[in-house]
């Protein structure tokens, strides 16, 4: 993978009235990577994409795409990027082929060039047999695919995808992720993707930036982020009899010491894999001669994980609920 930075964002801020949608956000995207911008609803993901793509003016901060500032050279920058908004912008009454052809025309491609490109894209996106079908008649998953194809008509270097798999069924989402990987690997397109789905970020992205309430929090490889988030699972355990008070002292356990409430022990898996804690639990229960009669694992609640990471990064600063 090439390692030059293709997007530089420094101190980006944007308010809507008194709401700070983006508050001093900085990050870089490397050329050739799939960059994940991960955060819950309302985090500021769409606002960021809109500013980066020149669809919304920024208030302060620097945005450079391929060394150019979109506020100064909007046309040149827009030639280099493709955007897939969260809602499709294609014409429902036009056929798939005609939608792509029309966009090619807007980008100034010759008739022959845009026909060739449309045919190629329909092939890549497995939509050749739908070329004469009106966009509006496609299933949700196929609509999303054509919308991505449309963003690639002018062969951009960077593709922005705003929550590409949200609202799709599992097989469609899976197929779409494979396509995004293919576009990245085969065509070398840098992908900037927003998602609120940790699994998706992990499955697709080389690098992940977490955004929460307009603030850029932890960043790292998907594996690093996953460890920080899944390191925060909680377990509720109930035994069928008394256990020694120190049973929970798993080697390396870094969560708070648990105390039983109505016989249920609340345990955190901070710093450890869930399976290690579970394995140890079974050993301890066996040694104490008790059985586990109830066990509940609190899923990787991303919202809670974001808050925990926020508090880690800004010690002493309380978050408003």
Ligand X SMILES: Nc1ncnc2c1ncn2[C@@H]1O[C@H](COP(=O)(O)OP(=O)(O)O)[C@@H](O)[C@H]1O
Q: Which does 16 bind (CB under 5 to 8 A by kind): Mg ion, ligand X, none?
A: ligand X
CA distances from 49 to 17, 22, 290, 296 (A): 19, 11, 54, 38
The count of chain residues that interact with Mg ion, using the rule CB under 5 A, is 2
Residue with smaller CB distance to ligand X, 33 or 163: 163
| Distance of alpha carbon 88 from alpha carbon 147, whole angstroms | 6
Residue found by looking up tokens 């990050």 in the block: 27
- Nearest approach in angstroms of CB 44 to Mg ion is 8
Nearer to ligand X, 17 or 171 (CB): 17
Is 99 a residue that touches Mg ion (CB under 5 A)?
no
Contact residue for Mg ion among 46, 99, 190, 272 (CB under 5 A): 46
Smallest gap from residue 277 Cβ to ligand X (A): 32
Among ligand X, Mg ion, none, what binds residue 41 when CB lies within 5 to 8 Å by partner kind? ligand X
Cβ 48 to ligand X shortest distance, Å: 7
CB 46 to ligand X: min, Å: 3
The token duo for 275 is 């399976």
User: Is 200 or 268 the residue whose CB approaches ligand X more closely?
Assistant: 200
Rounded Cα gap, residues 117 and 169, in angstroms? 28
For residue 296, give the 3-state DSSP assignment: strand
Verify binding: residue 48, Mg ion, rule CB under 5 A: no
Non-local (6+) Cβ contacts of 282 within 8 A are 292
Give bridge partners of residue 284 from the DSSP assignment: none
Nearer to ligand X (CB atom), residue 21 or residue 34: 21
Contact stretch for Mg ion (CB under 5 A) within 6-14, 37-45, 152-160, 171-179: 37-45
Distance, CA of 188 to CA of 125 (rounded, Å): 16
| CB of 42 or CB of 66, closer to ligand X | 42
Question: d(Cα 301, Cα 287) in Å, to the nearest integer?
Answer: 32
Give least dist CB 306 to ligand X, A: 12
Enumerate the H helices of the chain as residue ranges: 45-52, 74-80, 96-106, 111-124, 140-151, 170-187, 198-204, 222-230, 274-288, 302-313
Please identify, using beta-carbon distances, which residue of 52 and 277 lies nearer to ligand X: 52
In the complex, the residues that contact ligand X under the rule CB under 6 A are: 16, 19, 21, 39, 41-47
The whole-angstrom separation of Cα 259 and Cα 46 is: 42
Would you tell me how many other CB atoms lie within 10 Å of the CB of residue 108?
10
- Rounded to the nearest whole angstrom, what is the least distance from the CB of residue 47 to ligand X in the complex? 3
- Where does this chain bind Mg ion (CB under 5 A)? 45-46
């Amino acid at each position: 993978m090439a390692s030059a930075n293709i997007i530089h964002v420094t101190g980006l801020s944007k308010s809507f009235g008194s709401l700070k949608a983006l508050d001093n956000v900085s990050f870089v995207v490397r050329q050739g990577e799939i960059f994940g911008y991960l955060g819950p609803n309302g985090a500021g993901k769409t606002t960021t994409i809109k500013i980066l793509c020149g669809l919304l003016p920024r208030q302060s901060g620097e945005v450079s795409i391929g060394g150019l500032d979109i506020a100064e050279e909007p046309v040149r920058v827009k030639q280099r990027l493709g955007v897939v908004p969260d809602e499709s912008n294609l014409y429902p009454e036009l056929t798939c082929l005609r939608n792509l052809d029309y966009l090619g025309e807007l980008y100034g491609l010759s008739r022959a060039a845009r026909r060739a490109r449309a045919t190629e894209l329909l092939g890549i996106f497995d939509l050749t047999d739908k070329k004469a079908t009106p966009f509006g008649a496609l299933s949700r998953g196929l609509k999303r695919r054509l919308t991505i194809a449309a963003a690639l008509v002018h062969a951009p270097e960077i593709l922005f995808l705003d929550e590409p798999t949200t609202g799709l069924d599992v097989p469609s989402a899976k197929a779409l992720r494979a396509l995004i990987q293919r576009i990245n690997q085969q065509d070398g397109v840098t992908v900037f993707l927003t998602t609120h789905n940790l699994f998706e970020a992990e499955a697709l992205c080389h690098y992940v930036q977490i955004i929460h309430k307009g603030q850029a929090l932890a960043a790292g490889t998907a594996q690093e982020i996953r460890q920080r988030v899944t390191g925060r699972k909680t377990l509720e355990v109930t035994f069928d009899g008394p256990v020694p008070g120190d049973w929970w002292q798993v080697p390396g356990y870094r969560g708070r010491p648990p105390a039983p409430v109505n016989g249920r022990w609340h345990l955190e898996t901070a710093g450890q894999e869930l399976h290690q804690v579970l394995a140890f639990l079974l050993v301890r229960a066996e040694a104490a001669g008790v059985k586990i009669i109830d066990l509940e694992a609190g899923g990787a609640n991303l919202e809670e994980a974001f808050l925990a990471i926020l508090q880690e990064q800004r010690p002493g600063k309380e978050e408003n609920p």
